[in-house]
Every structure is written in structure tokens, then in C-alpha cells.
Structure 1
Amino acid sequence: MKNVNLIYDQYGGFEIKRTKLKVGMFSWESLYSVKVGGIAPHVSELSETLAKKGHEVHLFTRSGGLPDYEQINGVHYHRISHDQSGNIVHQMDKMCDAMYYRYREVIREYGDLDILHGHDWHPVNVLCRIKAEDGTPFILTYHSTEWGRNGNKHGDWWEATEISHREWLGGYEAAEVIITSNILKSEVQYLYQIPDYKISIIPNGIYAGKMRKKLDPGMIKRRYGISPLAPVILFIGRMSYQKGPDLMVQAIPNVLAHRPDAQFVFIGEGEMRPYCQQIAWDSGVAHATHFLGYAPDEEAIDWNNACDIVCVPSRNEPFGIVVLEAWDAGKTVVATDAVKLIDCFINGITVYQNPDSIAWGINYVLDGMGLRKLGEEGQHLVETKYNWDSVSYSTVNVYIKASSENI
């Protein structure tokens, strides 16, 4: 590792004095290219924080029709275009090939990088190829697993099996592995047998204040024909089996029986959206639902501040960045027990993964039982624990550990 001096102590460990690291970040999404889900803010905001701390960060990501190169908030964005035909596995094969050739151009211009950091399975092929040719170590962060994303239907189809294989391969070849929560660690170890000594638990982060906005909630509600006095329960995320939007829709009749004026806003796209809308029609609650589809960041921020409750009805939740966003806005969260961030009755309400329990949690909060206090406790956690300074410090320590093992 070229930018690190190691001073060994009497116990065989080492103290590290570093100037700066040269980091290659590999992700299929980012805030300034193609945005898909929670990896985008994680990758971009972590990279920006590392850059602010003096490290040189090169982020390799997809183009999204944007320029091939830009420096944004101190981060070098190297965007690549690739053939997008075929299924997701074939697309990622072509993305990895394109990333590899761009990587070669970058190191010719900027010099060798000290460490590579990939996110989820998408860039595993390029990371393994560079390691095999150059010996450059890489870190892999698991944000979720294919098994978790698809309702534990692992191995039912070729695509899922191949994705799972790459998740295993990335963990096997990585010098170190970062996992965002203990529950995801258990899932990854169950699936891929990665040893404890190789794993660091480092949570997602958020910029404190990112989601906070002074606004008139009634004005936001009026845009969609909602009474300013009506309580709004917000779902925001992928409309997928993993995220459980159908469980929330099925809970609506029991909530309306308790609070007939309650309204439910769903932000996000996915294969379950038509199904959820059909459930709402069939159960006679369509009048209380608003399916907005994909929403720009500003609209999501508006609703995080205008709503009364954020509901996270997930069946599987590797971390729950939506919880941090709700907390940052000071909102009370009702989440299933798949979400392990919640300390029930302290910073949110934990419920079971069924409609009756979800309805109970929403009704409990609507009755005013600690509504404000729970959100304030979550906001405090955002400011003290789930911030990028803390996350980046822990991440750099993993970089150094992986690089020192390679010297």
C-alpha cells in the first residue's frame, strides 16, 4: 500500500500514520448517475466524506446518459456505458467489462489505487479480474442478498442462482467484508459461510439534516386532495415482496375502522404496485390510498416532513435507510420486526409481519402515545450514531486492515 506507513508495536499489531488513500469505488448506482435504491446515497455520500477527509476517491459507475467524467464534491466520477441487452446478469457482465477498461485508463492517468471497494454483487466480476491480474485487494459491502430480496426463493431460477454465486464469490475473494447490520451478517453467513474474522459491521449513514425541511404539511396534503387535518401514513421504497407494501395495504381497513380520515401515501415503483392497487380496490379502501410511483428526491423529502407516520412493513430488511430518513425528519416509525434499528417504544414501534399487527402499531401511534418523543429519539440517533463521519472512519480502518494484509 503506497500511501501508508506501518509502525509495528510490541504486541505485533500496528499503528498507522497515513497521508491519504487512493480508493476505487465500484457500484452500479450512485446519486450522480443511475439511481436505483439505497446503494446510491450510500456510495456517493461515503465517497464524498472520504474525499473531505483528504482521500482520493475514484467512483466507477454507470453512465445514465451523463458525461463520462465529472468531479463532484471532491469525488472523481468515471461513468461507463455498456450494452443493456439481455437479463440483469448479462447486463452486469457487460458493465464489468466496461468498468475494467475504464479502470485501466484511470490508473494510467492517476497511478495505481491502494484499495478497491465494491457494493453488492454487481461489480464482483471486475473486482476479481483486477485482483487476479494486479493483486490489488478489494473490500465488498453487502447491502442485501438475492435470497432476501426475493422472498427466500433462492435457487428457483437461473438468474437468482447466478447472482447468489457472485455474492458468494465476492465474499470469498474479498480481503475484507463489510455488512451493514447484524441481521444481514447472520443471513450472509448462513448462505455463504464467510468467517467472522473477515467481517466488519458498519451501518449505513445519513447527513444529519438531509431530510429536514420547514414546510406547511397541509399544503403538501392539499396537492393530492387530502384534508390538511387528515393523518398521513407514508410508505417509501421499492414496491417489492421484500418490502411488504401488500401487508400495509391489507392493514388499511383496520386503521380506517379506528381513524376513518387516515390517508396512505405510497412512493416507489416495482412489480407489486399493480397488485397493491388491486387489493385497495377489492377491499374498498382505494379512496384512502395514493400510489405516486417514482418520486423525485424533493417530493420524497416533502412527504417525509408532511406525513405523520412512516411505515416500514418489510418481510426482509438488511438495514433500513428509510428509517434513518424518517428519523432525520423527526417522524415516528412503525416497522416490522425485520427492521432491527428500532428499539420499541423508545425510538419507534415494532410490529409483526402481518396486517393486523401493522394496523395495531399505526393505531397506537395515531392515538398519540409518544408520537413526538419517538421521532425525537430517532433524530438524536441520526446525529450521534448514524452519521457519515463515524461510518467513514470505520470504513477507512477496514481499508487499512485489508491493505496491510496485502503488503
Structure 2
Amino acid sequence: VKAPQFFPWILNLNFGMLSKAHQLMQSRQIDVIHAHDWLVAHVGIQLKKIYNKPLVATIHATEAGRWHGIHNETQAYVHGMEWLLNFESWRTIVCSDYMRDEIRNSFQVPYEKIDIIPNGIKRDKFMFDFPDAWDFRRRLAADYEPLIVSVGRMVPEKGFQVMIEAAPEVLRDFPNARFVIAGKGPMLEELRHRVRAMGIADRFHLPGYVSDEDLIKLLRVADVGVYPSIYEPFGIVALEGQAARIPVVVSDTGGLTGIVEHGVTGIKTHAGSPDSLAWGIKQVLYHPDWGHWMVDQAYERLINTFNWDLIADQTKQVYARVVAEAGG
């Protein structure tokens, strides 16, 4: 695959990793090469061929999915490298049913070659004494004001523009509601301009970058966590909301579809629809007891499904299968 000039640093990265991997292979017994996404496809494939070891690929997202198709040479290069990594892999791991279907449709990878292993979350980082929680919250909203929070990169696929368009409908029923959208990215100034143009800037706070510590605190004090993605291979931000024990409202797309069971572990809404998103937010605000019940159901599922110990065991099972099939 011919790389455009935009990517020489990726090749340098792969050369550096290849050199380090050679050193490790001289002193350790390595049974499987595992490459995460196209950025390390070159080094993964070369190690496979040099040492005759099976290659496992994990694909977290695809270029076609991010951009709703392939539209230029740069995207075509990334797409080609994704195809090559899948072609060279013994097995491919994805994080959701949605991503399995995307890999199958984009690269013609047979279903039987794909393993679905979800991402996980460390629940304990959300479990800490927070005696100044009300003081922290009062920096963002008065005690009587519902606090609606979303976090993520400020890019179109995260759907924050949909959340802003949904806000007037929420404010019609809950005029004291406050919205916080935390994160940085190329759309940040555009989103700030949009809330000013809509006359609702006094109801919104878009702080940009937020430290990890404050981000967790922000989730802990929220009344609703909203994740309105247009494209979302998995949706770990929704797990973070659930780990912070707040009810979540998500768009019914991508990996979020599998994370949230509608009406049980959260509320699903139609992706890209401000009216649907506003409805979901209002459902949680109108029915706080239901919201608390969904929080308990979601937390139980975090323990039983999105648990790193379980995920590690599932990954080890893939490795064992690959080694056995490869004759190692």
C-alpha cells in the first residue's frame, strides 16, 4: 500500500517498534503477535513473517466508519492498511457486534474469523470519598437546576451538535436545566458559537479540556449523562457514566446499542435526532426513581460483563486458540 507524504512519521514509528521488538524476541518466548489498528500494521506483519508467528489484529474503528465512506487519498491509504492488517491476521478482535458487522462489510472478513471482546472499565477509580461534591456541583449549577453532562472529543461523529439542537426542547420543560459538554477538539469553537447564536449560551458550559480528576467528579455530580454519537464503535464514555452511577441517555448506534438495554440500563434514542434525544433526557428528568433503578441495573452489568479480568480471560482464550491452530 503506497503511503501519502502525510504519514512518514507512522512509518518511522513502525521502524522504531520493529527494532525494539527484535530485541525482545531475542530474550523472550513469544507465541503471538498482537497488533492494534492500522497504525502498527507494518511492524505486526513484518514480525509475523520474520519469526513465523501468528498475528492477531484488534480493530477499534475504521476510516470508512469515521468518515461515512472513503473520499480522498489519505482515507484510502488508511482503509487499505486496515484491509491488509485483517488479511494478514489469524484472527481479528473487535469490541462490539456493530464493529463485527462493519469489519465484515468493509473488508469481507468472514464472521468465523472475528472474535467480539468488549472494552472494560476500572470501576474503582469512580469509587472515592467526595465530601465536597455539592460545592463542586454548585460551580456548575444551583441545587435546584438539573445538570446534564456529556464528555468526549469535539468532532462531528460524537454528535454534540445534536445535543445542542435538542436543548431548547429540554428547556421548554425544564427551564432551569444546565448543560456541560466537556472535551477538546476541532469543533469546540463552532459549538460555542452555535449556543450563542441559539440564545442559550447561559444554559451551556463548554470548558474544553478537563483533567481526569475533574472529569470523574463532573460525572459523579451529574443528573444525566448524555452520549449522542453519530458513529461510535464501542462507547466507553457511556460505561464511565454508568460507573459514576448516573443514568445515561445514548444514541442507538454502533457499540452503544450493545452497552445499553433500553429502559433497563439506560435510555436509547434515535441517532442524529434532536427530538428523540430531548425525549430521552426528559424521560430521565421526569422519572428520577426509574433513573435510579436503571443505574443499579447498569452497575450490575458493569461487574458481570465490562470487567477487565473477564476481558483478559477472553483475550487469553483467543491467544490459546490461535497458538493451537497455528501448530505452536
Do the two structures share a fold, i.e. TM-score over 0.5? yes
User: Alpha carbon RMSD of aligned pairs, Å?
Assistant: 1.4
Counterpart Cα distance in 1 of 2:105 and 2:188: 31
How far is 1:182 from its partner?
A: 0.4
- Listed one character per residue, the Cα deviations across residues 289-344 of structure 1 (whole Å, up to 9, x for unaligned) are 11121222111110110111110101111111111111111110100111212111
Q: Separation in 1 of the partners of 2:225 and 2:37?
A: 27
Task: Give the match for residue 294 of structure 2.
Answer: 374
Number of the residue aligned with 1:384: 304
List aligned pairs for 1:331-346, cutoff 5 A.
331-338=246-253, 339-340=256-257, 341-346=259-264
Q: What is the identity, as a one-letter code, of the residue corresponding to 1:223? A: R
Q: 2: CA distance between counterparts of 1:117 and 1:204? A: 16
Aligned to 2:134: 218
Q: CA deviation at 1:213?
A: 3.3
Deviation per CA, 1:252-306: give whole Å up to 9, x if none. Answer: 1111111111111111112221221111111011111111212221111101101
CA apart distance, 1:206: 1.5
Query: Which residue is 2:73 aligned to?
Result: 158
Residue 16 of structure 2 is aligned to residue 101 of structure 1:
no
How do 1:281-360 and structure 2 match up within 5 A? 281-338=196-253, 339-340=256-257, 341-353=259-271, 354-360=273-279
Distance 2:59 2:127 in 1: 28
Please point out which of 183, 205, 219 is paired with 2:120: 205
Aligned pair 1:276/2:191, yes or no? yes
Q: Which has the higher helix share?
A: 2
Counterpart residue identity of residue 12, structure 2: K
82, 91, 100: which one aligns with 2:9: 91
Aligned to 2:42: 125
Gaps of 5+ in 2: none
CA deviation vs aligned residue, 1:102-144 (integer Å, no higher than 9, x gap): 1112223x32422121212111111011112111222111111
Q: Which amino acid aligns with 2:135?
A: M
Aligned to 1:134: 51
User: Counterpart amino acid of 1:401?
Assistant: R
- Alignment: residue pair count: 317
Q: Which runs of 5+ in 1 are unaligned?
A: 1-85
Looking at structure 2, the residues matched to 249 and 120 of structure 1 have their Cα atoms a distance apart, in angstroms, of 32
Name the CA distance, whole Å, in 2 between partners of 1:359 and 1:257.
10
Residues 63, 70 of structure 2: 8 Å contact kept? no
- Confirm or deny: 8 A CA contact 1:212 1:305 kept in the other structure: no
Aligned equivalents of 2:128, 2:222: Cα separation in 1 = 12
Identity of aligned residues (%): 30
Q: Is the 8 A contact 2:147 2:222 kept in 1?
A: yes
The aligned residue for residue 361 of structure 1 is: 280
Contact 2:33–2:48 (8 Å) recurs in 1 = no
In the alignment, the residues of structure 2 paired with residue 97 and residue 294 of structure 1 have an alpha-carbon distance, to the nearest angstrom, of 32
Question: In 2, Cα distance between the equivalents of 1:117 and 1:279?
Answer: 43
Q: 1:345 to 1:202 in 2, by over 3 A?
A: same
1:399 corresponding residue in structure 2: 319
Q: Which has the higher contact order (CA 8 A, sep 6+)?
A: 2
Question: Does the Cα contact within 8 Å between 2:100 and 2:111 map onto a contact in 1?
Answer: no
Q: TM-score, normalised by structure 1?
A: 0.75
Judging by fraction of residues, say which structure has more strand.
1
For residue 314 of structure 1, give the secondary structure of its aligned residue in structure 2.
Answer: coil
Q: How far, CA to CA, are the matches of 1:298 and 1:176 in structure 2?
A: 37
Distance 1:217 1:371, change over 3 A: farther
Q: Is the 8 A contact 1:234 1:309 kept in 2?
A: yes
The residue that corresponds to 2:91 in the other structure is: 176
